[in-house]
Amino acid sequence: MRALSSLVCGFVFGWGLFISGMMRPEKVLAFLDIFAIPSGGWDPSLAVVMAAALLVTGIGYALARRGTPVFAEKSQWPAQSVIDRRLVTGSILFGAGWGLVGLCPGPAIANLATLSMPVIVFVIAMAVGTLAHDHWFTRVVPASMPSLASANADG
């Protein structure tokens, strides 16, 4: 049942990305290009997508706090609260990659549906980056990384 409900959630999420236009890197880059504001070329759509998503998630999560999930024993809310060097460094790297191409992980994976070669390259590279990170922190400097696939991961 958890696999099925997760399939539905992924499907709804994918439709959200599709309808909002966020699957299109050019639309994301048009939002990030704030220097196009004076010329009227700026596209604030991404801000509306986030605002709507935050409104629904904020209310839904507040209600979900009170109950237990239907198909799991308990909700796995992230427990980390410290803003550390890993968070800052990782966010800088992610921002750089996102700004270069206009794809973040969700839209990149959803775009596999188009079988576009650059998207396939991007997702493979994303997997390489992820595995390189995991290799580095489990094999090379394991002491600084207590639990990898931790339930406490933010997302």
Partner 1 sequence: MINFTPISAAIGGALIGLAAVLLMRFNGRIAGITGIFAGLIDPAADDRLWRATFVVGLIVAPLSAWLLGWGISNPQMPTSLTLVAVAGVFVGFGTRLSNGCTSGHGVCGIARLSPRSIAATAIFMAVAVAVVALMRHVIGA
- Tell which positions 117-146 bind partner 1, by CB under 8 A: 117-119, 121-134, 138
Q: How far is the CB of 38 from partner 1 (least distance, A)?
A: 11
CB closer to partner 1, 73 vs 143: 73
Residue list 69-128, contact with partner 1 (CB under 8 A): 69-78, 80-83, 86-101, 103-114, 116-119, 121-128
C-alpha to C-alpha distance for 18 and 49, rounded to whole angstroms: 11
Q: How far is the CB of 5 from partner 1 (least distance, A)?
A: 4
Tokens of 71: 């198909």
C-alpha to C-alpha distance for 92 and 115, rounded to whole angstroms: 29
Q: How far is the CB of 143 from partner 1 (least distance, A)?
A: 16
Tokens 């775009």: give the residue: 111
Residue list 29-58, contact with partner 1 (CB under 8 A): 29-30, 32-35, 40-46, 48-58
The DSSP-derived string for 62-112 is: HHHTTS--SSSSS----------HHHHHHHHHHHHHHHHHS--HHHHHHGG
Q: How far is the CB of 140 from partner 1 (least distance, A)?
A: 13
